[in-house]
């Protein structure tokens, strides 16, 4: 992806753009050399922007306020059987709305993995500036999980990309635009189950078919038109059942 600076950039924005361009995936462009018909990551005085033909995106916290209002009664939290102090690995960071919420509830920083490099940078900057306790890792969670020891998180969370055309909130437009649409797959699930002490939880849209193909131990159905949550019990919970 192209990376450039805004028109009023100072030396510090130029240095930041140059350091981003040292990462694989990015290529530094002078403003005059940018192909504005393609996506470009722009470093400005107010932070990172993704510019695409006809639309500019910046990081925002998504629907965090609605999750915070629901608190411990939120279906995601019930599906996780979350408890204060739980260590959560979020394998699909996106904007980091869920990761921020879970870190706030548990009181423990959440490790969150995002495959798309520009999204990982934008979310990392936004989450840090907003003071959320989320440690962002730019990686493919399928390989990241494989690098972890057994049972090193309480909960492993996956919120894969919804199918194209699904009715989801506009707050996810940035994620929809550049996020990775590949399925997590059964190999991901196998690694997630090895890493989770308590549970693996995966979200699916209300009328989706994803969960049925992944054979969860349980599905938490919420209200009509609301997401469903697939639950796989980890070894700690299996011995208690």
Ligand X SMILES: C[S@@+](CC[C@H](N)C(=O)[O-])C[C@H]1O[C@@H](n2cnc3c(N)ncnc32)[C@H](O)[C@@H]1O
Both structure tokens of 209:
């078919």
Strand order in the sheet with 196-204: 134-138, 110-114, 88-90, 153-158, 196-204, 228-233, 218-220
CB of 168 to ligand X, least distance (A): 8
Output the DSSP codes for 100-123. Answer: HHHHHHHSSPEEEEESSHHHHHHH
Residue 159: other Cβ atoms inside 10 A: 22
Judged by CB, which is closer to ligand X: 43, or 118? 118
Judged by CB, which is closer to ligand X: 184, or 200? 184
CB of 31 to ligand X, least distance (A): 27
Write out the H or E segment, with its range, that includes residue 153: strand 153-158
Judged by CB, which is closer to ligand X: 34, or 63? 63
Residue at shortest CB range from ligand X: 94
Binding site for ligand X (CB under 6 A): 62, 91-92, 94-98, 113-116, 119, 140-142, 159-161, 175, 179-180, 182, 184
Judged by CB, which is closer to ligand X: 116, or 124? 116
CB of 214 to ligand X, least distance (A): 14
Rounded (10°) CA dihedral 6, 7, 11, 13: -10
CB of 125 to ligand X, least distance (A): 15
């Amino acid at each position: 992806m192209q990376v450039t600076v805004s028109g009023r950039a100072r030396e510090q924005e130029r240095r930041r753009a140059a350091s981003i361009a040292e990462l694989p995936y990015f290529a530094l462009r002078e403003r005059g050399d940018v192909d504005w018909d393609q996506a470009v990551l722009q470093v400005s005085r107010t932070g990172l922007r993704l510019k695409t033909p006809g639309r500019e995106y910046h990081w925002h916290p998504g629907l965090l306020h609605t999750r915070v209002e629901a608190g411990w009664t939120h279906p995601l939290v019930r599906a996780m059987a979350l408890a204060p102090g739980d260590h959560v690995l979020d394998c699909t960071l996106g904007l980091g709305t869920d990761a921020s919420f879970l870190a706030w509830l548990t009181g423990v920083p959440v490790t969150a993995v995002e495959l798309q490099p520009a999204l990982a940078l934008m979310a990392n900057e936004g989450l840090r500036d907003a003071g959320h306790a989320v440690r962002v890792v730019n990686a493919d969670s399928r390989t990241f999980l494989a690098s972890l020891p057994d049972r090193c998180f309480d909960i492993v969370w996956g919120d894969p990309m919804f199918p194209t055309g699904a009715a989801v909130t506009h707050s996810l437009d940035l994620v929809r635009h550049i996020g990775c649409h590949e399925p997590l797959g059964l190999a991901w699930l196998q690694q997630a189950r090895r890493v989770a002490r308590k549970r693996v939880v995966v979200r699916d849209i209300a009328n989706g078919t994803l969960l049925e193909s992944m054979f969860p131990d349980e599905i938490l159905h919420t209200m009509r038109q609301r997401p469903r949550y697939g639950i796989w019990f980890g070894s700690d919970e299996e011995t208690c059942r």
